[in-house]
Amino acid sequence: MDTHNKLKILQCNLDRCKNAQHEILLSFMAGDYDIALISEPYIGSGEQVKSTFGIDTYQFFTGNKIKTCILAKPGCGSILGLSQYSTSNFCAIKITFGNRNIYIASIYVEPNIDESNTLDKLDVFLKNTGDSHKIVRGDLNGWHPIWGSVKSNPSGNEVIDIIHSNDVYVCNVGNIPTFETVTHGRDRSSIIDLTFASGSIIDNILEWRVNLNISPISQHNAIDYCIDFDTSNTTHTYQNSTFLYKANKACWPIFKDKLHTHMTLTNILEHDISTLNVDDLEHIINELTNVIHSACRASMHVKSRGTKPKAPWWTEELETLKREVVDLHHQLHAAKRQGMPLEHILETRKQKKELYANKMREESTRHFREFCELQTKENVWSLTNRLLKNATPRRPPVTLNRGSTYTTDSQETAKALLNHFYPDDSPDTLTRHHELRSEMTDLPQSHDDPPFTQEEVLECLKQMSPKKAPGLDNFTSDICLQFATDYPRLLTDILNRCLTLQHFPDQWKTAYVKIIPKPGKSDYSALESFRPIGLLPVFGKLLEKLFIKRVVYHAQRNNRLNKFQFGFREQTNTCEAIHTALKIIKLAKSEKHLSIAISLDIKAAFDNAWWPALFHMLRHIQCPNNIFGLIQDYVRDRRVILDHAGRRVTKTLSKGCIQGSTCGPILWNIILDELLDARLPAGCHFCR
């Protein structure tokens, strides 16, 4: 939870300059800034700003290249991007700071004509947000004496009309220009980078200044200021990663030693696991979780949640060159005030800026080459693929379009996502549906399966990648494997007690949901532009893996899986499915028949997996009784948790398989198998 009572804001136009962007990022990450409002950011050959580690970048691509964005550090409040107002030229967010909501916008208006109607959008934004606290910064390319210009132009006059009609006031003070350049040896300057604030918050804006020290490379001078509040920010900030421990650098001997010590201090090993009831079993699992956390904290570092303070290629020489350019910038301003000649200072500053810019390019290129040369034969191609891949920028939370309206706050947006990806079960409308639901708890006419073995448990754990994100318990598979290696009997006994009691532990049922943007989408305010991934505890996925292997074994032994089921099955794959389809087509052609391929995509298949149909098919494949009962408890009271823009939302599922679960694909296969068993007309074939 954050308890500071100030927001410090940095704003600047970067002239689409890569080096200017480096400077701003260095100052932003190393300083005590919370928010950066940027115009004309560097986008390279692309259309959007690339993501920066540890910083949320709010940008809204609407067909044109991004001309403004907002950067935010984690922990400065609950922030939600406002899709309903934003475009490539207009970026708006709402930040919840303590019990206050503040609307912040960064805008850019083209120099000659407002091609994107950005000023009209500004007027709509100010009117729709009413009496709320508002701050707007922008490169408006407008002149007016109110903010220090010698004269006014049409853009400046239009801006004045907008702010006067919306109770908004200019924050700019003094006469230091925000834009400076040299044309034909002559210094030109103006004040076109502005800060506005609503009347409700204008008195809270302190220390507004043009800061000549931030980005001497850019033709625009940076501006910074802070917003001071009477009370501290008490907004709870949730972590956006389940990776907690640096297990790849763990000291495993210390882990084992601390693990043994804590296990001795508890009475876990004294329990007869085979006699525990459900409550006692849950208690033992909680105790084990705490013991493993203690061993982890003693033997490995915790991952940093903050931003990287400085680019790895930044040197003392670059710092010295930057100071020299800044000093010349200050000398230029002093010479202007005193009416002294500027030619010598302008020429010296030009040469020093070129030297500084060239040195930045040289150092960043040198560092990148050294990094590439360090790659080994094993990882060089993965590096190459990452460099060549046109990755979609990471997208922080924004308001979402629900047809005719947009969500309005973080809570509503998070609920909309969970309700979209994890829909509720619908009422039964067919007699067959009623029948399937009524017999859902009927056990199959089969025997119990034997207990899991220690060999099974260890083998399944070894198959799990430690690079995959863990669940809410923060244990990656290598941590779990180390525990299992030292206490194989204890872990196996716990898993077998789950099987005997037909109980799937509650803490292993909860999935922590990450929302992933789909690449190449034109509108990221649409719910369909995202997909969910559920991060589950490794021990829970281990139990899933153990019981689903038994289910598949019995289905295959009883010959109850359709031969045209190729997906998610051992010794089959999509290549075999394609080969089968081609074989059918070639046979038809050889017999001079026409061939027609009809493709079918089941929308949100995993999210809509219907549990009564699943248990009907499990009975059909003669699933063992104890496995059947365990799966019944597995789907009972499952929860998903989503942390979104500083708000945590929870939902209990009534249907569906978690995308990210171990058993989900197989359970979906079992449900779908009945469809593939349907009788087709002569000459028709299934191929999945």
Over residues 422-440, the pLDDT tens digits come to 999 988 788 888 888 888 8
C-alpha–C-alpha distance, residues 399 and 60, integer Å: 11
Per cent of the chain over pLDDT 90 is 59
Q: Which residues pair with 189 in a beta bridge?
A: 180
**Confidence tier at 387 by pLDDT (50, 70, 90):** low
Q: 337 in a domain, yes or no?
A: no
The Cα 126–Cα 115 span in angstroms is 20
Residue 200 belongs to a domain:
yes
Which of the given ranges, 56-70, 176-190, 556-570, has the highest pLDDT on average? 56-70
Of residues 88 and 350, more confidently modeled: 88
- Average pLDDT of the segment spanning 147-167: 92
| Residue whose structure tokens are 């060089």 | 380
Least confident of 193-202, 365-374, 429-438: 365-374
Average pLDDT over residues 509-514: 96
Most confident option among 46-60, 546-560, 601-615, 664-678: 46-60
Looking at residue 383, its pLDDT comes to 61
**Measured distance CA(330)–CA(3) in Å, rounded:** 36
How confident is the model at residue 441, as a pLDDT? 84
pLDDT of residue 688: 60
Q: CB–CB of 216/228 below 8 Å?
A: no
Q: Give 506-536 as a 3 state SS string.
A: HHHCEEEEEEEECCCCCCCCEHHHEEEEEEC
Measuring CA to CA, how many Å separate 268 from each of 91, 156, 254, 309, 506?
Answer: 55, 74, 20, 44, 19
C-alpha 62/C-alpha 673 separation (Å) is: 43
Give strand pairing partners of 510.
639
- The per-residue pLDDT for 139 is 92
Q: Which candidate, 245, 242, 240, 249, places its Cα nearest to that of 303? A: 245
Contact 2, 235 (CB under 8 A): yes
pLDDT given for residue 285 in this prediction: 97
Does residue 249 form part of some domain? Answer: no
Model confidence at 220: pLDDT above 70: yes
Q: Residue 7 carries which DSSP code? A: E
Structural domain includes residue 398: no
Per residue in 131-152, pLDDT (tens digit) is: 999 999 999 999 999 998 889 9
pLDDT > 70 fraction of the chain, expressed in percent and rounded: 92
pLDDT the model gives residue 568: 57
DSSP 8-state symbol, 245 = B
Residue 556 has pLDDT above 90, yes or no: no
Given this model, what pLDDT does residue 337 score?
A: 79
Alpha carbon distance, N-terminus to C-terminus of the chain: 49
Q: Is residue 408 part of a domain?
A: yes
Q: Which of 43, 47, 50 is nearest to 63 (CA)?
A: 47
Taking the C-alpha atoms of residue 638 and residue 657, their distance in angstroms, rounded to an integer, is 10
Write out the H or E segment, with its range, that includes residue 330. helix 316-338
In this predicted structure, which of 40-54, 88-102, 663-677 has the lowest mean pLDDT? 663-677
CA angle 672, 680, 568 (to 5 degrees): 25
Please give the average per-residue pLDDT across 242-256, as a whole number: 95
Mean pLDDT (whole number) for 578-592: 85
3-state helix, strand, coil in the chain (%, to 5): 40, 15, 40
Instruction: Please identify, among 228, 262, 292, the residue that sits at the C-terminal boundary of a domain.
Output: 228
Domain ends where: 165, 195, 228?
228
**Residue-averaged pLDDT of the chain:** 89
pLDDT for the residue numbered 80: 96
State whether the Cα torsion 346-351-354-355 is positive or negative: negative
Q: What is the CATH number of the domain that holds 116?
A: 3.60.10.10
Instruction: Supply the DSSP string of 467-497, one letter for each residue.
Output: TS---TT---HHHHHHHHHHSHHHHHHHHHH
Please check the confidence at residue 41 and state whether its pLDDT lies above 80: yes
Give the integer Cα–Cα distance in Å for 548 and 611. 16
Confidence of residue 258 (pLDDT cuts 50, 70, 90): very high
Asked if 443 and 628 touch (Cβ cutoff 8 Å), the reply is yes
Q: Count the neighbouring beta carbons within 10 Å of the beta carbon of residue 195.
A: 23
Instruction: Tell me the pLDDT tens digit for each residue of 284-295.
Output: 999 999 999 999
Using the predicted structure, report yes or no on whether residue 615 has a pLDDT greater than 50.
yes
**295 contacts 262 by C-beta, under 8 angstroms:** yes
pLDDT at 188 over 90: no
Q: Residues with Cβ < 8 Å from 299, sequence gap 6 or more?
A: 250, 251, 252, 254, 255, 258
pLDDT value, residue 310:
65
Question: Quick one: pLDDT band at residue 233, thresholds 50, 70, 90?
Answer: low
Alpha carbons 131 and 134: distance in angstroms, whole number? 8
The pLDDT assigned to 230 comes to 67
- The number of folded domains in the chain is 2
Q: What distance separates the 2 farthest-apart alpha carbons in the chain?
A: 100
Instruction: Count each helix (H run) and each strand (E run) in the chain, helices first.
Output: 18, 18
Contact 651, 86 (CB under 8 A): no
Contact 487, 264 (CB under 8 A): no
**Full domain range(s) for residue 189:** 6-228
Whether residue 484 lies inside any domain: the answer is: yes
Please give the Cα distance from 324 to 80 (Å, whole number): 40
Amino acid identity of residue 329, one-letter, is H
Give me the pLDDT at residue 1, please.
46
Q: Are 57 and 85 in contact (CB under 8 A)?
A: no
Domain-located, residue 62 = yes
Across 362-376, 391-405, 408-422, least confident range: 362-376
Sheet with 193-198: strands ordered across: 78-81, 90-97, 100-108, 133-139, 193-198, 168-170
Query: Stretch 217-226: mean pLDDT, rounded?
Result: 93
Indicate if the pLDDT at residue 529 is higher than 70: yes
- Domain final position from 198, 228, 258: 228
Q: What is the pLDDT of residue 631?
A: 96
CA 142 and chain centroid, separation: 37
Residue 684 resides in a domain:
no
Q: What pLDDT, in 10s, does the model give residues 66-123?
A: 999 999 998 888 999 999 999 999 999 999 877 789 999 999 999 888 888 999 999 9
Residue 354 CB neighbours (<10 A):
10
What is the model's pLDDT at position 562? 64
pLDDT band of residue 126 (cuts 50, 70, 90) is very high
What does the pLDDT read at residue 476?
Answer: 97
Of the candidates 68, 51, 47, the residue with the CA atom closest to the CA atom of residue 394: 51
